[in-house]
Amino acid sequence: SLIFAFHEIAELDLLLAKAIFANKYKCVCPQINEEYRIEMAETENLILKDELKELKLEYQSQDFKINKSVVILTGANMAGKTSVLKTIGQCAALLIYGIPVPAKSANLFIPDFISFSGPLTHEHRADLSSFAIEVVALQHVIEKKNKGLILMDEFARGTNPLEGTALSQSVIDYFSRHEKGLFISATHFNPPAHTENAQHFRLLGLSDQDFEYLKSLDKNYLKNNLKEIHKYFNYKIIPVNIDSEIPKAAYKIAELLGLDREILDKAKELYNEEI
């Protein structure tokens, strides 16, 4: 019948669209596994790659090797933690819809749902504060019976540091003890020293050598050309011990941008350490 033919043509058109997409962006069809595991090589965030191309900045692909149900991702300011979460979420979404993913190789599980809690989920809301929205979204995930991919970008960032640290660590601990799928948390708070079923990764960020070079450049130039700093950031993800020190690059970035010396020195004094 005509309706049957219409549906057949539509299905063929969708398959062709997927093939064109896969060919254009050099995608692969992932292997599927039943465990909460993600292994991808040379993975690309296509949206971010296009944005960086407009800014004439080079995009760095990512490698992932996640084999535990809880992942803690730390890194310096501007290191790309949010982009990592979005990249993983985009690939999982493509997989759910049967679309090849932009990577050289991929081994993924199929989540029942994808939850992302971060800055973009809090915009255009006047009824709740950003932290309250985070809490509501978190509780919604906790109450789900099925297993998902839960991406959390700096939970409790809007609270005071002491409460934020306690809440962030408690959330990580909860997901390490309750199987809800794969939970990935990007955090600037110190993670708990020992968490069961957890992997700890860090983005490399800005090396000491590159920092010293950037310091030699004119401060006003850097203020007006922030992408110059981005050029020297390394967005590679490396595994680290769960209790390793989180890099503190905020001071370095503030110094590069010419923040008043008195403020910088006072910051060193308050931290009581050499930053």
Is the per-residue pLDDT at 148 higher than 70? yes
Is the per-residue pLDDT at 62 higher than 70? yes
Cβ pair 149, 161 in contact under 8 A: no
Cβ pair 212, 270 in contact under 8 A: no
Other C-beta atoms closer than 10 Å to the C-beta of 234 total 15
SS3 205: strand
Q: What is the pLDDT of residues 85-123, one digit of tens each?
A: 999 999 999 999 999 999 999 999 999 999 998 765 545
Dihedrals phi, psi of 116, to nearest 5 degrees: -120, 125
Q: What is the pLDDT of residue 204?
A: 86
Other C-beta atoms closer than 10 Å to the C-beta of 233 total 22
pTM: 0.88
Q: What is the pLDDT of residue 275?
A: 43
d(CA 191, CA 73): 9
Q: Half-sphere exposure of 234 toward its Cβ, with a 13 Å CA cutoff?
A: 12
Is the per-residue pLDDT at 273 higher than 70? no
Q: What is the pLDDT of residue 247?
A: 61
Q: What is the pLDDT of residues 7-37, one digit of tens each?
A: 999 999 999 999 999 999 999 999 999 899 9
**DSSP E strands, 84-208:** 105-108, 114-117, 148-153, 181-186, 198-206
Is the per-residue pLDDT at 141 higher than 90? yes
User: Positive or negative CA dihedral for 232, 235, 240, 243?
Assistant: positive
Predicted confidence band of residue 269 (pLDDT cuts 50, 70, 90)? confident
Q: What is the pLDDT of residues 63-73, one digit of tens each?
A: 999 999 999 99
Other C-beta atoms closer than 10 Å to the C-beta of 254 total 16
CA 17 to chain centre: 28
For helices 81-96 and 46-54, give the axis angle rounded to 10 degrees. Answer: 130
Cβ pair 248, 206 in contact under 8 A: no
The overall average pLDDT reported for the chain is: 87
d(CA 201, CA 72): 6
Other C-beta atoms closer than 10 Å to the C-beta of 117 total 23
User: Between 116 and 275, whose confidence is greater?
Assistant: 116
